[in-house]
Amino acid sequence: PEREVAEEVSRIAEDIDTMEIRGAATIADAAARALAAQADASEAESPSAFLDELRAAARVLCDTRPTAVSLPNALRYVFRDVRGATVEELRESVRESADEFCERLDTAQHDLGRVGANRLRDGDTIMTHCHSTDVLACVEGAVEQGKSLSAYVKETRPRNQGHITAEALSEMGVDVTLIVDSAARRYLNDVDHVLVGADSIAADGSVINKIGTSGLAVNARDRGTPIVCAAQTIKLHPGTLTGHTVEIEMRDESEVIDPETASEIGDPEVLNPAFDVTPPRYVDAIITERGQFPPESIVTLMRELFGESPIQPWEL
Ligand code: RUB
């Protein structure tokens, strides 16, 4: 039977679903906090009932968006350290584990930013796609080192997350130029580094990120512009070690065209994939909190961190 989950869990799941909460790292943070909220709200009378509720919450959270592996990874991480013989002990343990996870996430992003910052030189121009907090951490690190930077920011249709990036970069003192997605190639000659984030990294080093990343990477390679992916190790997708592929989320067509006006252009079928896959040969480096890696070598790190056969959080 379906178990009731805490109201706060439903609310966070809804916010992830509607992209009120979005971006892989932010989703991971919210998911860990949701488990803590479930633990706080639980009225379970036995440890096993308490754990069943936590598993149900994990499932509800994972059912929101399929592509960012940081979501199940965050839940796995919190579950891994949960111990206790009584409901009270378990509750406290979930709180501690979630807090520790969120702290580690912050630290990892900061450490990643320092690695990424070292690639950027004073006076460099970057190009961004979508809105990635891991990418912003690299820029922030460079700015803190006293470097002055310019950025071409792609608006990132259909949801224009580029606007969030434009605002964040401006606040850091970066000189921002907003462009439509299809103008990227025209300006690549003026760019020193293309910086993108990731929702998942596959075992072969493929980068799964916002739709349009792969085309940008192919164009960047053609122009000889280095393309760098900033992705904490929480973005490594353990399932790809055992042959699974990363599911690409398809979103509602209303994000692309207003259903009211679609009839005026002959009611075409609309496809709205949210992410795409950039093969490792188009990526120069993956920047993590553990340092910078060529994409082809990321599998070693993945094995070290996850082992061979991770299980789903609700099976723990
Ligand atoms: C966001 C997106 C971001 C990654 C990385 O897609 O593709 O590049 O999630 O973000 P959406 P971060 O807007 O559909 O969630 O570096 O913040 O984890």
Provide the residue ranges of all domains of the chain, joining segments of one domain with +: 7-109, 114-306
Residue 169 has pLDDT above 60, yes or no: yes
Active site residue 199: yes
- Tokens, residue 310: 């991770």
Residue 213's nearest CA partner among 204, 201, 203 is 201
Centre of ligand 1 from the C-alpha of residue 294, in Å: 21
- Nearest ligand 1 atom, CA 129: 8
Whole-number pLDDT of residue 316: 62
Active site residue 130: yes
Whole-number pLDDT of residue 1: 45
Catalytic residue among 29, 134, 199, 284: 199
For residue 276, which phi and psi values (nearest 5 degrees)? -145, 175
- Nearest ligand 1 atom, CA 231: 16
State which of 69, 111, 132 you would mutate to test the pocket of ligand 1, scoring each by most atoms of that ligand within 8 A of its C-beta: 132
**How far is the C-alpha of 149 from the C-alpha of 147, rounded, in Å?**
6
- Tokens, residue 47: 């440890």
Q: In sequence order, what are the residues at sequence separation of 6 or more whose Cβ sits closer than 8 angstroms to the Cβ of residue 177?
A: 150, 151, 152, 153, 187
Average pLDDT over residues 16-42: 98
Residue 311 has pLDDT above 80, yes or no: no
Contact 197, 135 (CB under 8 A): yes
Instruction: Write b or e for each residue in 4-34: b if 16 or more Cβ atoms lie within 10 A of its Cβ, otherwise e.
Output: ebbebbeebbebbeebebbbbbbbbbbbbbb
**How far is the C-alpha of 306 from the C-alpha of 182, rounded, in Å?**
38
Residue 183 has pLDDT above 70, yes or no: yes
Whole-number pLDDT of residue 2: 59
- The single residue listed with the structure tokens 């293309």 is 194
Q: What is the pLDDT of residues 218-232, one digit of tens each?
A: 999 999 999 999 999
Average pLDDT for the chain: 96
Strands 227-230 and 285-288: parallel
Q: What is the pLDDT of residues 37-67, one digit of tens each?
A: 999 999 999 999 999 999 999 999 999 999 9
State which of 26, 65, 210 you would mutate to test the pocket of ligand 1, scoring each by most atoms of that ligand within 8 A of its C-beta: 210
Residue 256's nearest CA partner among 268, 269, 270 is 270
Centre of ligand 1 from the C-alpha of residue 84, in Å: 35
Whole-number pLDDT of residue 307: 75
Residue 309 has pLDDT above 80, yes or no: no
Judge: domain 114-306, CATH 3.40.50.10470: yes
**How far is the C-alpha of 21 from the C-alpha of 16, rounded, in Å?**
5
- Nearest ligand 1 atom, CA 135: 16
- The single residue listed with the structure tokens 């299809």 is 182
Q: What is the pTM of this model?
A: 0.96
**How far is the C-alpha of 199 from the C-alpha of 202, rounded, in Å?**
10
Average pLDDT over residues 108-114: 98
- Nearest ligand 1 atom, CA 136: 16
Contact 195, 134 (CB under 8 A): no
Residue 308 has pLDDT above 90, yes or no: no
Centre of ligand 1 from the C-alpha of residue 64, in Å: 15
Residue 201 has pLDDT above 50, yes or no: yes
State which of 71, 133, 161, 207 you would mutate to test the pocket of ligand 1, scoring each by most atoms of that ligand within 8 A of its C-beta: 161
**How far is the C-alpha of 306 from the C-alpha of 258, rounded, in Å?**
43
Whole-number pLDDT of residue 93: 98
User: Cα 133 to the chain's mean position, in Å?
Assistant: 8
Exposed (0-12), middle (13-18) or buried (19+): which is 59, by Cβ within 10 Å? Answer: middle
Centre of ligand 1 from the C-alpha of residue 308, in Å: 26
> Which of the four pLDDT bands, split at 50, 70 and 90, describes residue 4?
confident
Average pLDDT over residues 87-93: 98
- Any alpha helices (H) in 155-243, and if so which ranges? 162-171, 184-187, 213-223
Q: Assign domain 7-109 to its CATH superfamily.
A: translation initiation factor eif-2b, domain 1 (1.20.120.420)
Residue 118 has pLDDT above 80, yes or no: yes
- The single residue listed with the structure tokens 């224009």 is 160
**How far is the C-alpha of 178 from the C-alpha of 183, rounded, in Å?**
10
Centre of ligand 1 from the C-alpha of residue 208, in Å: 10
Protein residues whose CB sits closer than 6 Å to any atom of ligand 1: 22-26, 68, 130, 132-134, 161, 197-199, 209-210, 274
Q: What is the pLDDT of residues 241-291, one digit of tens each?
A: 999 999 999 999 999 999 999 999 999 999 999 999 999 999 999 999 999
